[in-house]
C-alpha cells in the first residue's frame, strides 16, 4: 500500500514538471490558452469597470491617493517576493520536485520577511507623506504580502503546463469576490478601507483556488545547492523588475510628495483606467507567449513565425484600442468616473500617447526571457529606468502634464535603439517587428482621425451617445480598410484563422 501511495504521489509531481507532451500540440494549446485567457480578462475587465464606476462615486479621489501612496512603496517590495523564480520554472526545460519545493519555501520565507519590512516602514511613510492614516493601511498590506507567497509556485506550474483555462477561472472568481467585498465595504462607509479590501480579498481567494486547482504540494525539503542556476536566472529578472519599478512608480512618488494626494488620486486613477483594457489584452497574450516561445527557443524558424503572429495580433487589437481611448477620453472619464473626475481627462489623453507603442514594445522582454538573455534584460531595464526617471524629473517643472509628456518623448526616442539591442542574436529582427505592427498602426491612426472629426462635428451630443456612436464608426473605419488590398486581406486572415483554428 505504501509503494502504491508513493507511486501515485510521484505521478502527481511529474505531471506538473514534464512538458514533453506539449510540443506536438503547442499551436492549439497556445491559441486556446490565449483566447481563454483573453476571455477571462475581458470578463474581469467588465467587472472591474463596473466596480470602478461604483467606487469612484462612493470613495473620494483623496482616498484613492492615500492607497496609491502605500502601493507606490509596497509595489517595490513586491518584486522581491518572487525573485524571478516563477518565470524560471516556466522557462526551464527540466525541473524537479525538490527544486520547486525549495523555491516554494524560499518564496514563503521572503514573503514573511517583506511583510515585516512593510510593517516596519509604516511610520516612515507617515512621516514622508505627512499623512497619519497611512499607518494602518500599510499594516494591512504587510499581511497581504505574506499571504501572496503561498500561491507563487502553483501559478508557475499551471503556466508551465499551459493550463490557462484553470488560471482564467481562478482569476475571474477571485476578481468577482474581491470586487463584491470592496463595494459592500464602500456602501457601508469604510472609505479608503474599501480600496484596501479589494486586493486583500483577491489575494486570499486566489491562494485558496490555486491550491484547489493545482494538486501539487511542496515537500519538506530545502537546499540552496539544487536551485543555484534558477536563482541566477531569477536574479536577472529581479534586477530588471527593481529598476523597472522605479521607472514605473517614480511618477507616483514625485506627484504624491510635491503635488499632494488629490493630484496623485487623479493621476493614478487616469493611469489605472487607461491601462485596464490594455493590460487585460496584453498580459494574457504575454502569459501564453512566454511558455510557447521558451519551448521553441531551439527552433529559430518556428520561433520567428510564432513571434510574428503574436506581435501582429497584439498590435491588431491594442493600437486601435489606445487610439479610441485617446480620442474619447473626456467621455470615458465622465461616464465611468463621473463629472468630479474630469480634471483627469487631459492626463488620460497624454498617457495614451506612450501607451500606443508600449504593448508591442513590451515583447522585447518576452523575447529576452524566453531565450534566457537575463543579463541583457537587466541592462536594458537599467537604461530605461534611468531615462524614464530623468524624464519625470525634467518634466516636473511643468507639473503633472509635463511629466507625462517627457515620459512619452523618452519612450519613442528609445524605441529603435532598444529593439536593436534586445533582438541582437535572436531569431527576431527590428524590420520584422515594424513589419508586423505597421498596418495596424496606420489603420488605427486613420480610424482615430475619423472619430476625432466626428466628435468635433457633434460637440453637444450626450457623452454616452457620442461614445457609442464613435465606437461603431471607429470599428468600421478600422476593419473595412483591411479588405482593400490583397496584402491587407491576407494579414486579416491571420486573425480569422485564429478563430477558425479554435473550432477544430
Give the tens place of pLDDT for each residue, 376-426: 888 888 888 889 888 888 888 888 888 889 989 999 999 999 999 999 989
Phi, psi of 222 (to 5 degrees): -150, 115
Cα separation of 190 and 173, whole Å? 23
In the chain, count of helices (H) and strands (E)?
A: 21, 0
Domain coordinates of the chain in residue numbers? 15-502
pTM of whole model > 0.75? Answer: no
113 three-state secondary structure: helix
Q: C-alpha grid cell for residue 28?
A: 492549439
Quick: pLDDT tens for 228-268: 777 777 766 777 777 777 777 777 777 777 777 677 777 87
The pLDDT assigned to 453 comes to: 94
Residue for cell digits 514573511? 112
Of the candidate ranges 4-8, 102-106, 131-135, the one whose mean pLDDT is the lowest: 4-8
- Read off the pLDDT of each residue in 194-216 and give the average, rounded to a whole number: 90
Q: For the chain, first and last CA: distance in Å?
A: 43
Contacts of 362 (CB under 8 A, 6+ apart): 282, 286
The pLDDT assigned to 12 comes to: 54
The pLDDT assigned to 8 comes to: 53
Q: Do 146 and 111 contact (CB within 8 A), yes or no?
A: yes
Quick: pLDDT tens for 425-483: 899 999 999 999 999 999 999 999 999 999 988 888 888 889 899 999 999 999 999 98
State the burial class of residue 306 (Cβ atoms within 10 Å of its Cβ: 0-12, 13-18, 19+).
Answer: buried
Cα separation of 326 and 278, whole Å? 13
436 three-state secondary structure: helix
Q: Is the pLDDT of residue 161 over 50?
A: yes
What per-residue string of b and e applies to 274-299 under the rule 16 or more CB within 10 Å gives b?
Answer: bebbbebbbebbbbbbbbbbbbbbee
Cα separation of 308 and 328, whole Å? 30
Cα separation of 443 and 478, whole Å? 6
Q: Do 66 and 131 contact (CB within 8 A), yes or no?
A: yes
Please report the beta strands in 147-223, taking only residues with DSSP state E, as ranges in sequence order: none
Q: Where residue 6 falls among pLDDT bands split at 50, 70, 90?
A: very low
- Taking alpha carbons only, the member of 89, 88, 87, 83 closest to residue 108 is 83
Amino acid at each position: 500500500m505504501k509503494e502504491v501511495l508513493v507511486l501515485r504521489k510521484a505521478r502527481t509531481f511529474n505531471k506538473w514538471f514534464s512538458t514533453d507532451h506539449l510540443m506536438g500540440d503547442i499551436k492549439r494549446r497556445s491559441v486556446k490558452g490565449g483566447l481563454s485567457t483573453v476571455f477571462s480578462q475581458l470578463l474581469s475587465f467588465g467587472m472591474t469597470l463596473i466596480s470602478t464606476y461604483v467606487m469612484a462615486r462612493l470613495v473620494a479621489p483623496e482616498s484613492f491617493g492615500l492607497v496609491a501612496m502605500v502601493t507606490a512603496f509596497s509595489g517595490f517590495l513586491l518584486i522581491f517576493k518572487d525573485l524571478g523564480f516563477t518565470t524560471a520554472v516556466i522557462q526551464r526545460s527540466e525541473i524537479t520536485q525538490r527544486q520547486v519545493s525549495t523555491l516554494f519555501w524560499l518564496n514563503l520565507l521572503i514573503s514573511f520577511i517583506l511583510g515585516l519590512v512593510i510593517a516596519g516602514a509604516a511610520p516612515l511613510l507617515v512621516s514622508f507623506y505627512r499623512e497619519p492614516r497611512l499607518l494602518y493601511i500599510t499594516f494591512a498590506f504587510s499581511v497581504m504580502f505574506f499571504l501572496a507567497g503561498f500561491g507563487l509556485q502553483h501559478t508557475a506550474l499551471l503556466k508551465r503546463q499551459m493550463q490557462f483555462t484553470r488560471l482564467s477561472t481562478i482569476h475571474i472568481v477571485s476578481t468577482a469576490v474581491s470586487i463584491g467585498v470592496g463595494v459592500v465595504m464602500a456602501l457601508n462607509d469604510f472609505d479608503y478601507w474599501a480600496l484596501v479590501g479589494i486586493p486583500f480579498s483577491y489575494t486570499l481567494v486566489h491562494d485558496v483556488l490555486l491550491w484547489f486547482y493545482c494538486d501539487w504540494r511542496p515537500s519538506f525539503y530545502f537546499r540552496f545547492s539544487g536551485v543555484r542556476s534558477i536563482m541566477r536566472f531569477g536574479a536577472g529578472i529581479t534586477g530588471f523588475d527593481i529598476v523597472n519599478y522605479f521607472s514605473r512608480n517614480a511618477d507616483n512618488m514625485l506627484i504624491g510628495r510635491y503635488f499632494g494626494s488629490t493630484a496623485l488620486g487623479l493621476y493614478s486613477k487616469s493611469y489605472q483606467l487607461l491601462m485596464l483594457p490594455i493590460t487585460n489584452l496584453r498580459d494574457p497574450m504575454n502569459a501564453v507567449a512566454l511558455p510557447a516561445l521558451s519551448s521553441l527557443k531551439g527552433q529559430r524558424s518556428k520561433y520567428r513565425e510564432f513571434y510574428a503572429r503574436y506581435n501582429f495580433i497584439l498590435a491588431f487589437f491594442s493600437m486601435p484600442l489606445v487610439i479610441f481611448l485617446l480620442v474619447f477620453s473626456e467621455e470615458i472619464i465622465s461616464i465611468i468616473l463621473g463629472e468630479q473626475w474630469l480634471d483627469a481627462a487631459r492626463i488620460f489623453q497624454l498617457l495614451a500617447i506612450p501607451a500606443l507603442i508600449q504593448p508591442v514594445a513590451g515583447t522585447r522582454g518576452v523575447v529576452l526571457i524566453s531565450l534566457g538573455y537575463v543579463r541583457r534584460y537587466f541592462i536594458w531595464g537599467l537604461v530605461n529606468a534611468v531615462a524614464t526617471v530623468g524624464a519625470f524629473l525634467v518634466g516636473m517643472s511643468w507639473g503633472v502634464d509635463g511629466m507625462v509628456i517627457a515620459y512619452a518623448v523618452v519612450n519613442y526616442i528609445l524605441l529603435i535603439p532598444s529593439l536593436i539591442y534586445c533582438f541582437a542574436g535572436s531569431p527576431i529582427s527590428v524590420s520584422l517587428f515594424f513589419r508586423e505592427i505597421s498596418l495596424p498602426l496606420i489603420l488605427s491612426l486613420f480610424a482615430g482621425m475619423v472619430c476625432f472629426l466626428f466628435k468635433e462635428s457633434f460637440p453637444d451630443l450626450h457623452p454616452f451617445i457620442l461614445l457609442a456612436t464613435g465606437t461603431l464608426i471607429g470599428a468600421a473605419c478600422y476593419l473595412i480598410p483591411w479588405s482593400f488590398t490583397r496584402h491587407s486581406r491576407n494579414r486579416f486572415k491571420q486573425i480569422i484563422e485564429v478563430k477558425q483554428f479554435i473550432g477544430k
